[in-house]
Amino acid sequence: MSRAWRRLAAAPQAFLAAPAVSATAFGLKPTACSSRDKAKAAADKQSVFWISGSSQGCAKTLPCKFDHYGGVIVSPDGVPKEEGNFREMLASSLQEWEMQQKRGVWLHLSIEKSSLIPIATKEFGFEFHHAEPDHVMMTKWLPKDAPNTLPANASHTIGVGALVTNSEGHILLVRERTGPAGRSGVWKIPTGMVDAGEELHEAVVREVKEETGIDATFEYFGAFTMNHGGNLAHEGKSNIFFIVKCKALSNQIQMCQSELTDARWFTQEEWDALPFPEKGSLWWEINRSALAPEAVLSIKELAWGSNRPDMKRMLYFPLKRSAL
């Protein structure tokens, strides 16, 4: 069991408890219309890695998938819009899943079905897990004699900073239009957030292009740091920030007017003379880690194994700079 899952398993019961209405309060009996279809799940290598089976549901139960952790993932398209029908199907489904000794239930409700949220929370004890622009994800822990071990919502955001040099060794710096850096008017390297499904090196090249119009290529990673507490948009979250060395493929800056007030190339001496970042500070050290380090982080793509050659991931590994 991972460290994160152990922490979740030790969470206080008072936090995890939620008022709920038993399915039997509706006079409903468990249905026997669920049927697992493992053959169908096995056809999809990605699905079978997480999914152990599924149920097509019926007139009284919700269609769903079952994961290898004893969880139930309700199929969003199978959730009825009509409140009375939803209430009855959810009650019957919960009773059946409890009899099957399922553990956690994941309920995806779209904006179009938002009227069902009070039913799920107030009548059946579902809790909010996270929200996206078009839906909310809710969860319910079924065992009454075991701590809730459902994984928490995402706890971190990922940021990248690009130390971009051109063929003359000049460094690309920008002035942001908004935010704390915009208010102070400092010159800084281009920075941004990594999108879901995006690799770190892809994100930094994209950010440089979006902000400055400069085409760049990834070279290597320098140091990284963490910040805790979040900001107004990500309150209570932590952030991991990576510095990335990039090489410019062009020199002509085409600045994004909505994000920046200025962007230009600086010599090393000009950069050193700027008041920000303060010499010896965290940001000074992390920026310099990408200039002339003895060792760096490089990347290579590897398969999970011979049984899954189609599933590949990026490996970030230390390397002597002389080996680049």
For residue range 165-190, what is the model confidence (pLDDT) as tens digits? Answer: 999 999 999 999 999 999 999 999 99
Q: Which two tokens stand for residue 24?
A: 């039997």
Residue 163 shares a structural domain with residue 311: yes
pLDDT of residue 289: 92
Residue 82 shares a structural domain with residue 109: yes
The Cβ-side half-sphere exposure at 198, using a 13 Å CA radius, reads 17
Q: Answer yes or no: 199 catalytic.
A: no
Residue 171 shares a structural domain with residue 131: no
Q: Which two tokens stand for residue 90?
A: 């959810």
Q: Is position 137 within any domain? A: yes
Residue 192 shares a structural domain with residue 283: yes
Residue 120 shares a structural domain with residue 174: no
Looking at per-residue pLDDT, the higher value among 76 and 35 belongs to 76
Residue 302 shares a structural domain with residue 229: yes
Q: Which strands sit side by side in the sheet containing 104-110, from one edge to the other?
A: 51-55, 64-67, 72-74, 104-110, 135-141, 127-132
Structurally, how many domains does the chain consist of?
2
pLDDT band at 46 (very low <50, low <70, confident <90, very high): low
Residue 114 shares a structural domain with residue 16: yes
Residue 52 shares a structural domain with residue 86: yes
State which H helix or E strand residue 94 sits in.
helix 83-99
pLDDT of residue 320: 85
Residue 202 shares a structural domain with residue 309: yes
Q: Is the pLDDT of residue 91 over 60?
A: yes
Q: Is position 220 within any domain? A: yes
Q: What would the pLDDT profile of 240-265 be if each residue is shown by its tens digit?
A: 999 999 999 999 999 999 999 999 99
Q: Is the dihedral of CA 276, 281, 284, 287 positive or negative?
A: negative
CATH number at residue 238: 3.90.79.10
CATH number at residue 26: 3.40.630.30
> What is the average pLDDT value for the chain, to the nearest integer?
86
Active-site residue, from 210, 211, 259, 278: 210
Q: Is the pLDDT of residue 199 over 80?
A: yes
Task: Point out the least confidently predicted range of 105-114, 197-206, 225-234, 281-290.
Answer: 225-234
pLDDT of residue 48: 67
Residue 308 shares a structural domain with residue 167: yes
Cis upstream peptide for 277 (omega within 30°): yes
* Phi, psi for residue 44 in degrees, rounded to 5: -110, 110
* Phi, psi for residue 85 in degrees, rounded to 5: -65, -40
Mean pLDDT along residues 110-134 = 97
In which domain, by residue range, is 40 found? 3-141
